[in-house]
Amino acid sequence: MIFNKRQFSRHLLKWFRQNRRDLPWRLPPASPPSARLEPYLVFVSEAMLQQTQVSTVVPYFKRFLQAFPTIHSLAAAEEQSVLRVWQGLGYYSRARNLHAAAKKIVAEFAGMIPNEADVLLQLPGVGRYTAGAIASIAYNRRAPILDGNVARVLARIFRIESDPREKRTAAKLWQLAEEILPKEGKPCGDFNSALMELGATVCTPRNPQCLICPVQQFCQAYAEGVQDRIPPPRKTKPTPLIQRWVFCIHNKNRFLIEQRPAKGRWAGMWQFVTIEPSATKPTRAIVKQSTGCSIQAIEKITAISHALTHRRYQFDVFVCEANGGMNIKSRSNRMWVRLSELDRYPLPKPHVQIAGILGDKSGAAVKVSH
């Protein structure tokens, strides 16, 4: 089968213009040809779309743009505010990198998001895919992209049966992604968007809809009936289970929360006191040793499971009433707050769930977003 790049592009772009999803970071479908996409919208959306589905991203994107409508407002914000608005979307390093990149863009590029992929690569959190996506979609530069959707489409079109996650296969797919791009000045951004859209809506991982695919005639995998086994399934690995105790220590109507370290998972976010189990069950002595708080009793209220990409957590959650005053072990990253004040602090999703449970038990108003 001879691959005709020009015909492939024409078929793909025609389908995209008729079937593309109306997303808040894209120009409205009826926009005039002279309309230009706001690069900041692409910048934010591409950060959010890393490892996250479009349907999940849309409400967070709208909320983020309400809080930080411009690159300057994002750069001027406190990191805690950025994490708070991002709360619930996960992979919080993306938010910190996006914030750091905004600061760099304002400081070094006069607030103008760079339009060349090699310059974009200098920004925190921007890899080859994100640089290509911003350069092509926001500025129509001839820059290739390769995310999971595009890799799957190309693997099937060219019948590449090796694992796209392998270094050699990924390099081949990157080469193909660049070779099939339209020439400079042609609609490179729409072409890249169309490839991603095709992978997300038609050329799906399971049960691809080949009969309605606009580029079916170019697909070697379909021609040979092997599309269902390309790409090969990911090799499953056992995910370790990590157990934690969470102590919801309260003094009257205030709860003790602590800030997580500046690096690592959920970096810089806030949580109820959480420790690694050191015995078969928690004791008042363990709570005293960990926090400096004397407590009256320990009551288990729930257990919360939380799965991440490479690990699973189980949080056993306990309520403890502080005995006497509100002195805590000398740590500047702990404080007493009312449940109604938790909306000021970015919380990991498990602790948002815990706050909701505490609110239900106490009847207190809890304003935290999932």
- pLDDT of 308 > 90? The answer is no
Query: At which residue do the structure tokens 């999803």 appear?
Result: 21
Q: Give bridge partners of residue 249 from the DSSP assignment.
A: 320
Tokens of 25: 């970071």
- With cut-offs at 50, 70 and 90, classify the pLDDT of residue 205: very high
Query: At which residue do the structure tokens 């009847």 appear?
Result: 363
The phi, psi pair for 300, rounded to 5°, reads: -80, 130
- With cut-offs at 50, 70 and 90, classify the pLDDT of residue 45: very high
- With cut-offs at 50, 70 and 90, classify the pLDDT of residue 32: confident
What's the average model confidence in pLDDT over 31-37? Answer: 78
- With cut-offs at 50, 70 and 90, classify the pLDDT of residue 324: low
Question: CA 272 to CA 250: how far, in whole Å?
Answer: 10
CB atoms within 10 A of CB 132: 29
- Residue 33 to residues 12, 142, 187, 210, 328, Cα–Cα distance (Å): 19, 19, 12, 31, 62
DSSP SS3 for 279: coil
pLDDT at res. 326: 54
DSSP SS3 for 53: coil
Q: Alpha-carbon Rg of the chain, whole angstroms? A: 25
Question: CA 86 to CA 106: how far, in whole Å?
Answer: 21
pLDDT at res. 360: 84
Closest CA to 112 of 84, 72, 158: 72
pTM: 0.86
pLDDT at res. 369: 56
What's the average model confidence in pLDDT over 149-153? Answer: 97
- pLDDT of 29 > 90? The answer is no
pLDDT at res. 212: 96
**What does the angle CA 232 – CA 237 – CA 240 come to, to the nearest 5 degrees?**
155
pLDDT at res. 309: 78
Contact indicator for 271, 260 with CB cutoff of 8 Å: yes
pLDDT at res. 329: 54
Closest CA to 222 of 267, 4, 214, 280: 214
Bridging pattern class, strands 312-322 and 241-251: parallel
Q: Which residues are catalytic?
A: 46
**What does the angle CA 61 – CA 192 – CA 171 come to, to the nearest 5 degrees?**
110
Q: For the chain, what is the mean pLDDT?
A: 91
Question: CA 88 to CA 370: how far, in whole Å?
Answer: 5
The phi, psi pair for 108, rounded to 5°, reads: -110, -15
pLDDT at res. 60: 96
Q: Give bridge partners of residue 272 from the DSSP assignment.
A: 257
